[in-house]
Amino acid sequence: MRKMQGYRAGVNLGGWISQYGKHSYEHFDSFIREQDIKQIASWGMDHVRLPIDYPVLEDDDTPFKYKEDGFKYVDNCIEWCKKYGLNVILDLHRAPGFSFSTLEENRLFDDVFLQERFIKLWQYFAKRYIAEKGNVAFELLNEVVEPTSDRWNALAHRAVEAIREIDQDRIVIVGGNSYNSIFTLKEIQLFDDPNVVYTFHYYEPLLFTHQKASWVNICAEFNQGQEYPGRFVGLKEFLRKRPEYKGWESQLEVINDRKLMEKNLKVAEEFINSTGKELYCGEYGVISDAPLQSRINWHRDFVELTKKLNIGRACWSYKQMNFGLVDADGYVISDELVEIVSQK
């Protein structure tokens, strides 16, 4: 039986207890509520991926002392999901000493003490949720970015061993380097463990999925809407004026369409076939600045292709976060888009 059978179509709860603008209990209490989980279940989805930033659970000045007022949000999410028949992936989105958004400040892979905090936190998760056997999976760390995969491979193996001291059966999800790139799956040091599943994120090509994104320099400065399917209109002229973006010339001849997506996903297919391991896509999506019909077209192709490969997935993201399926008040932005991403 496939370990991820109950994780075929899901959505991320980004912006709740991860990537929040301010560490505020008022925000934590209001951003996601039971009614949101009920709505997700009503779409026909079977799981949510819950990104978690460690400061919600543990303060840097009191390491190894875990905060009940933070864990209650994780507890609530699990209970609501059980009530409405959804599974949950607990994703450590930001760990002590590491965040994909603060690369210049990261110290996790240099600091033995921070690594101990990372491992002990996962052991606490394992102890706390030992009774939640069939409906809760653990994802070790979101979007690792390292010069090579060596140090992450070593720490991931230590973390899985630590979890296995407490729980032999928990599904543990491990991704690769370079922001969980599909192209670094081959660099993951595989586990001799039937309950480890491998993951990637898919936002290809970035100039389309993140068009106009303020946090991606070239997308913000290029600042042009792009269609799917289509070519990158205006890119040649932009790069001629901005030589500092050398390397992006490779995108000039790209036709962003289903064939390109099939080519990229061939990497995932080869991973599955060569390893016999199960694969899951923890994030995929298109920014809300993109034309809505192009968002719909891209998502439809991605869902159809991953279904063919039997890859479960969770779109980014449920509410707001520049990629939302619903607006700030929880109202659906596009019924067609929701229907597509909810397909199992």
On whether the CB atoms of residues 203 and 284 are closer than 8 A, the answer is yes
**Local structure of 162: helix, strand or coil:** helix
Nearest 5°: phi and psi at 98?
-145, 135
Close Cβ partners of 153 (under 8 Å, ≥ 6 residues apart): 187, 188, 189
Q: Which of 58, 132, 204, 283 is catalytic?
A: 283
Q: Could you confirm whether 283 is annotated as catalytic?
A: yes
**Residue 92 DSSP class:** E
What Å distances lie between residue 74 and 33, 125, 284, CA to CA? 12, 10, 23
Q: Which amino acid is at 152?
A: W
**Distance from C-alpha of 138 to C-alpha of 294, rounded to nearest angstrom:** 33
**Residue 250 DSSP class:** G
What would the two tokens of residue 39 be?
A: 């709505």
DSSP string, 179-239: HHBGGGGGGS---S-TTEEEEEEE--SHHHHTTT-TTSHHHHHH-----SSB--TTHHHHH
First to last CA, the chain: 17
Q: Which of 139, 143, 146, 278 is catalytic?
A: 143
Q: To 10 degrees, what angle do helices 150-164 and 112-128 make?
A: 40
Rg value, the chain, Cα = 20
Q: Could you confirm whether 143 is annotated as catalytic?
A: yes
| DSSP H stretches of helix in the chain | 25-31, 34-42, 68-83, 112-128, 150-164, 177-180, 206-209, 217-222, 235-241, 258-275, 292-308, 335-341
On whether the CB atoms of residues 112 and 153 are closer than 8 A, the answer is no
Nearest C-alpha neighbor of 317 from the set 337, 297, 291: 337
**Distance from C-alpha of 279 to C-alpha of 138, rounded to nearest angstrom:** 14
Active-site amino acid positions: 143, 283
